[in-house]
Amino acid sequence: MNVPPGWPPRRRRSPLALAISFFGVLGALVLAVGVTLLVAGRMVDVVGAPDPVVSAREAAPPDAGALAQELAGAHEGVAVDWDAPAHAGSELDPGLAVDHAPGILLVETVLGQRMGTGTGMVLTPEGLALTNYHVVEDSSEVFVVEADTGERHTATVLGRDAEHDVAVLDVHGVTDLPVASVSLDPVRRGDEVAAVGNGRGQGHLTAVRGTVLGTDRSIMAASQGSDEYARLTGLIQTDADVVPGYSGGPVVDDDGQVVGVTVAASDGTGAQEVDGFAIPLGVALGVVDQVLSGEETDTVSIGADGALGIMVAADPEAGVVVMQVDADSAAEAIGLVPGDVVLAVDGQAVEGNASRMSRLVNDHNVGDRITVTWRTASGEVREAEAVLQEAVVN
């Protein structure tokens, strides 16, 4: 895929760009978040704000840039069986099999010793694609599978907007991938839609139908086991029974055209409890355009994070414990060893929270200097300045 000259530039990350993971990892799979491990044994909590923010206006049409214009009505879209009987009962809708979905991808990631899954979509025949950032966050490898053919490809993360939860991918070694087909019409309350995705990592696509309940919704969202919440705004809310694995996949209208990107769902086990939330298509494509411009913003980041080269685990009593130190790493250079407990980064306490420590480190660029404070196994408190290396995870 062609990218602008001089790309990628040096990164500049915003402290507002919180990397919050929602439900990219399924079942008993373990998601490596930052430098620790969180267990996502079910759909991760996505908690609605006490009074959801709902605009009185309907959603405006996306800002139709060149990429959106090229994808608009590109083909017949995703084949959803709209004539099938509606799901009945209190259980979650298992979804309808989708046999034809040009441009839709199953996303697989390597997260330490485990795997994560999600969904994505192709934007150019040369392999530009998008998914949710939380689907690929902290992965060391990314693979995509064409839903219609089963062909598998490697991919890399070109850039991301953690605040809007969008990641831009480059699929390797392709020149003629089918692309997704999109609609530029505004989404309105009452529209029939379907979320399409790799539900629960099943290895094929299903579609769960629903109705748009509102646009311009705001929610407070947190990963399971975390007490840190991030606000997502401007979302499309539907009553489709979205489950883990749909993340990053398309929400399509009743013509099979993409109008949004699934990002989150309310927590629940029954059909009456679960609503799906999607990023409007225009917002997602805006992130893509920004990444391809080569210019970073307060929310859009391009290139690799800075890293210490350690693996840690959060111990409720001890704090953030160093489990592994990579050879020739920034951490080894300052004397960190397994068993040490990290107390602060640049004078900011990590508070025994590995995710907080991850952000304090990863908000810096490669080559930046940070001050690390830690306690040794003998109880001695030490402090040293580390020069950050390039992260080996996304």
The residue among 263, 293, 323 that closes a domain is: 293
> CA 336, 340, 341: angle at the middle one, nearest 5?
120
Q: What is the pLDDT of residue 149?
A: 98
147 and 86 part of one domain: yes
Residue 298 lies in a domain: no
75 class by beta-carbon count within 10 Å (0-12 exposed, 13-18 middle, 19+ buried): middle
Residue 143 lies in a domain: yes
> Taking the CB of residue 387, how many other CB atoms lie within 10 A of it?
14
Chain segment 258-306, per-residue pLDDT in tens: 999 999 988 776 667 789 999 999 999 999 999 999 998 888 888 887 8
50 and 145 part of one domain: yes
Encode 343-362: b = buried (16+ Cβ within 10 Å), e = exposed. Answer: bbbeeeebebbbbbbbbbbb
Residue 348 lies in a domain: yes
71 and 204 part of one domain: yes
Residue 4 lies in a domain: no
Percent of the chain predicted with pLDDT > 70:
80
106 and 250 part of one domain: yes
Q: What total of structural domains would you count in the chain?
A: 2
265 and 140 part of one domain: yes
Chain segment 203-252, per-residue pLDDT in tens: 999 999 999 999 999 987 765 455 556 788 999 999 999 998 999 999 99
Q: What is the pLDDT of residue 378?
A: 94
Residue 262 lies in a domain: yes
237 and 327 part of one domain: no
- DSSP code at position 201: G
Residue 335: CATH number of its domain: 2.30.42.10
CA distance 259 to 255: 10
CA distance 51 to 179: 38
Chain segment 314-336, per-residue pLDDT in tens: 876 777 999 999 999 999 999 99
DSSP letters, 28-97, are T-EEEETTEEEE--SSPPEEEPSS----SSPPPPP---HHHHHHBT-SS-----TTSPPP-SSBPP--EE
| Mean pLDDT in residue range 159-176 | 95
289 and 355 part of one domain: no
205 and 67 part of one domain: yes
Instruction: Identify the three-state secondary structure at position 199.
Output: helix
Residue 99 lies in a domain: yes
How is residue 189 written in tokens? 């309350």
373 and 284 part of one domain: no
The residue among 273, 293, 313 that closes a domain is: 293
121: left (phi over 0), alpha (psi -120 to 50) or beta: beta
The residue among 293, 328, 345 that closes a domain is: 293
More confident residue, 364 or 344: 344
351 and 253 part of one domain: no
Residue 284 lies in a domain: yes
Torsion of CA 297, 362, 387, 378, to 10 degrees: 160
Please list the residues that pair with 302 across neighbouring strands: 159
Please list the residues that pair with 260 across neighbouring strands: 251, 280
Q: Flag the least confident range among 51-55, 108-112, 340-344.
A: 51-55
> CA 172, 299, 36: angle at the middle one, nearest 5?
70
Q: What is the pLDDT of residue 340?
A: 95
Q: What is the pLDDT of residue 16?
A: 27
From first CA to last CA, the distance across the chain in angstroms is: 19
The residues, ordered by sequence, that sit 6+ positions from 378 with a Cβ below 8 Å of its Cβ are none
Domain that holds residue 344: 304-390
More confident residue, 19 or 188: 188
CA distance 101 to 383: 54
Please list the residues that pair with 156 across neighbouring strands: 170
| Strand locations in 284-380 (E) | 300-302, 306-307, 310-315, 319-325, 341-345, 348-349, 369-375
DSSP letters, 108-126, are EEEETTEEEEEEEEE-STT
Residue 156: CATH number of its domain: 2.40.10.120
287 and 319 part of one domain: no
Residue 47 lies in a domain: yes
Is 118's pLDDT higher than 80?
A: yes
Is 199's pLDDT higher than 90?
A: yes
278 and 325 part of one domain: no
Q: What is the pLDDT of residue 229?
A: 67
In this structure, are residues 210 and 266 in contact, taking their beta carbons and an 8 Å threshold?
A: no
CA distance 245 to 196: 10
